[in-house]
Amino acid sequence: MIYRDLEKVRTIIDEATGLEVSYAYDDLVFPDHTAFIIQFDDAKATHFFGYFHKDCNPADQRDLEDKLTAASLKQKCQLTFKGSFNLEQKGEEVNIHFL
């Protein structure tokens, strides 16, 4: 069984941004406003992947990357940013497209 430490990710997000986690599903964690998401790396418990919403302002993205990286290091974790994503509403479902 794969252990995913949601509380560690929640702490990183809160410390870096002050945002709450609004939703967690499988290996993805969605903070309020969904400007970014964090994905667990199932190969290493202290490594995570970050993705920014495709419409995120580049200056805001750089600021968030710096803050999230610093908060991750305080938790003795590594956060690697891999790209962007888009959300698509289809009826009751929301599809995530990694770009």
69-91 tens-digit pLDDT: 999 999 999 999 999 999 998 88
Question: Which fold does the domain 6-85 belong to in CATH?
Answer: GMP Synthetase; Chain A, domain 3 (3.30.300)
Which of 79, 83, 85, 82 lies closest to 12 in space, CA to CA?
Answer: 79
DSSP 37-70: EEEE-TT-TTEEEEEEETT--HHHHHHHHHHHHH
* Domains of the chain by residue range: 6-85
Question: Which one is predicted more confidently, 92 or 63?
Answer: 63
| pTM: predicted TM-score of the whole model, two decimal places | 0.91
The amino acid that residue 90 corresponds to is: K
Give dist(CA 54, CA 42) in Å, integer.
25
* pLDDT the model gives residue 90: 87
Whether the CB-CB separation of 36 and 48 falls below 8 Å is answered with no
13 pLDDT band (50/70/90 cuts)? Answer: very high
